[in-house]
């Protein structure tokens, strides 16, 4: 019987690790060249910069770029022409490893908009490469969201795609017949949540936390409606009270309460009461917001939830704060942490747990993850300056395979912040969220445990 080929000859991975020299990462790749190389752009760029022969780019047959909207920055259609020029200069000075790699592979160079005559209207195929000059590898680009300005850059100014007729294939979602073809390229159309990610039974909730610790649904939220039978089967919920008790009331909860929900709530209340009497190192997180997340998690999540933090937030500190509130929180690390890998492998969609898990991650580490057991995503604050794409990517972690799910944003009420110039300014997160949801055609639904 023929022995199957060894895995390293089929696929290998190239990522950067500050504790391991680049040469050690490259050694197995050069010793056994794989059929498929999976790499981060920065690691691959560093490798070919250090040694142009380390990875034979000239012999590639296919190049696949996932999450292209994150890896290749483009200039949005801002109404402010000065903001556009500033961003254009920034991209030219710091083009990013993905852009530099593709320029090298397809022998193109960046074009300065100033070099194009003002009278000339650029055509989409002006910069497409000419395959008669030499065959280049097939290029595949993917993303759940692909903005019009990025599509224009990729198909025009980038020079990465071919001019050859019939060699460009676009695969998109199936828009509803109610959407006319002429509006599909509009900015308002590309913001729509149902055209992007998430299932039809995904509900969006927004909790607003006041300075005094009060937790309410965002103004204008719709009353909760009965979810579909399919959604109920997909995301079983706990037996739960209709009103949110105070921590003191929860601590005195009777033993006859629902065994599963009561256990989690009493643990939450007891640890909360201990916390307010235990001094601790100052946390960068608003304790009222963390309490809101802990309460909603205890009341609503049957098995696995995820909390997504801003990209610069300390994940381990958030895990620490949540554990003090009785939450079974873990940092999401699919490489080093067995807990993260375990939830990626399971396919038990209808599972419940006596001690549900909350995986904590940042925006950057969450994109593209598929966690089949995940029923709830919590978002702390406004991510990425209120970018619609970022919200859609995070919301897309639930509602997969036609299942239901919930996206719960936890916001601070209007408050003052210190700007970079040292001056105070007001930050109104509920207003920012309302504007963003309106763009996506989403009306938030009240989370029934809160006012």
CATH number at residue 57: 3.40.50
pLDDT band at 237 (very low <50, low <70, confident <90, very high): very low
Last residue of a domain, one of 108, 138, 157: 157
**254 within some domain:** yes
Q: Let me know the angle formed at the C-alpha of 125 by 102 and 121, rounded to the nearest 5 degrees.
A: 115
**215 within some domain:** yes
| Rounded Cα gap, residues 82 and 266, in angstroms | 56
Answer for the pair 353, 301: CB distance below 8 angstroms, yes or no.
no
| Rounded Cα gap, residues 345 and 374, in angstroms | 12
The residues that bridge with 307 in the sheet, in sequence order, are 360, 378
Backbone angles phi, psi at 424, to 5 degrees: -90, 145
pLDDT above 90 for 311: no
> For residue 349, what is the domain's CATH number?
3.40.50.300
State the pLDDT at residue 141: 93
- Looking at the structure of the chain, the number of domains it has is 2
- Same domain membership, residue 136 and residue 258: no
State the pLDDT at residue 81: 80
- Same domain membership, residue 341 and residue 256: yes
What is the reported pTM? 0.68
- Same domain membership, residue 315 and residue 242: yes
Give me the chain's average pLDDT, please.
76
Look at 81-85, 230-234, 264-268, 322-326 and tell me which has the smallest mean pLDDT.
Answer: 230-234
- Same domain membership, residue 264 and residue 122: no
Answer for the pair 322, 286: CB distance below 8 angstroms, yes or no.
no
Look at 39-48, 122-131, 179-188, 337-346 and tell me which has the smallest mean pLDDT.
Answer: 179-188
Answer for the pair 64, 98: CB distance below 8 angstroms, yes or no.
no
Answer for the pair 258, 239: CB distance below 8 angstroms, yes or no.
yes
Domain carrying residue 330: 197-440
Q: Which distant-in-sequence residues (6+ apart) come within 8 Å of 260 by Cβ?
A: 238, 239, 352, 354
- Same domain membership, residue 362 and residue 214: yes
State the pLDDT at residue 445: 93
| Burial category of 349 from C-beta neighbours within 10 Å (exposed 0-12, middle 13-18, buried 19 and up) | middle
**162 within some domain:** no
Average pLDDT over residues 94-121: 71
């Amino acid at each position: 019987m023929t022995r199957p080929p060894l895995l390293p000859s089929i696929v290998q991975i190239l990522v950067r690790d500050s504790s391991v020299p680049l040469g050690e990462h490259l050694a197995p790749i050069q010793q056994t060249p794989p059929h498929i190389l999976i790499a981060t752009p920065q690691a691959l760029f560093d490798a070919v910069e250090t040694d142009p022969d380390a990875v034979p780019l000239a012999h590639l047959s296919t190049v696949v770029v996932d999450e292209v909207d994150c890896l290749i920055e483009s200039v949005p259609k801002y109404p402010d022409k000065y903001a556009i020029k500033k961003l254009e200069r920034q991209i030219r000075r710091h083009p990013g490893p993905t852009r530099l790699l593709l320029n090298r592979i397809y022998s193109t160079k960046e074009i300065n908009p100033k070099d194009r005559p003002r009278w000339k209207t650029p055509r989409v195929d002006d910069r497409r490469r000419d395959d008669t000059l030499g065959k280049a590898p097939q290029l595949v680009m993917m993303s759940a969201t692909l903005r019009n300005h990025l599509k224009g850059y990729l198909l025009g100014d980038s020079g990465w795609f071919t001019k050859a007729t019939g060699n460009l294939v676009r695969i998109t979602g199936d828009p509803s017949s109610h959407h006319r073809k002429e509006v599909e390229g509009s900015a308002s159309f590309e913001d729509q949540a149902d055209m992007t990610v998430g299932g039809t039974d995904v509900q969006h909730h927004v909790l607003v936390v006041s300075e005094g610790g009060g937790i309410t649904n965002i103004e204008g939220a719709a009353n909760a409606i009965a979810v579909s039978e399919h959604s109920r089967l997909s995301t079983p919920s706990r037996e739960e009270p209709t009103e949110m008790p105070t921590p003191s009331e929860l601590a005195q909860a009777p033993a006859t309460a629902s065994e599963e929900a009561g256990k989690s709530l009493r643990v939450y209340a007891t640890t909360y009461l201990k916390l307010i009497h235990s001094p601790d190192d100052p946390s960068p997180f608003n304790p009222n917001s963390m309490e809101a997340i802990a309460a909603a998690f205890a009341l609503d999540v049957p098995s696995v939830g995820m909390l997504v933090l801003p990209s610069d937030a300390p994940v381990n500190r958030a895990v620490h704060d949540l554990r003090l509130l009785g939450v079974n929180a873990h940092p999401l690390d699919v490489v080093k942490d067995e807990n993260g890998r375990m939830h990626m492998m399971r396919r038990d969609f209808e599972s419940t747990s006596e001690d549900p898990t909350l995986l904590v991650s940042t925006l950057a580490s969450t994109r593209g993850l598929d966690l089949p057991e995940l029923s709830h995503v919590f978002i702390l604050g406004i991510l990425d300056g209120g970018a619609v794409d970022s919200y859609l990517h995070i919301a897309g972690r639930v509602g997969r395979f036609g299942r239901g799910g919930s996206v719960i944003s936890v916001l601070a009420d209007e408050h003052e912040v210190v700007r970079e110039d040292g001056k105070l300014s007001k930050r109104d997160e509920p207003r920012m969220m309302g504007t963003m949801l309106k763009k996506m055609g989403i009306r938030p639904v009240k989370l029934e445990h809160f006012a």
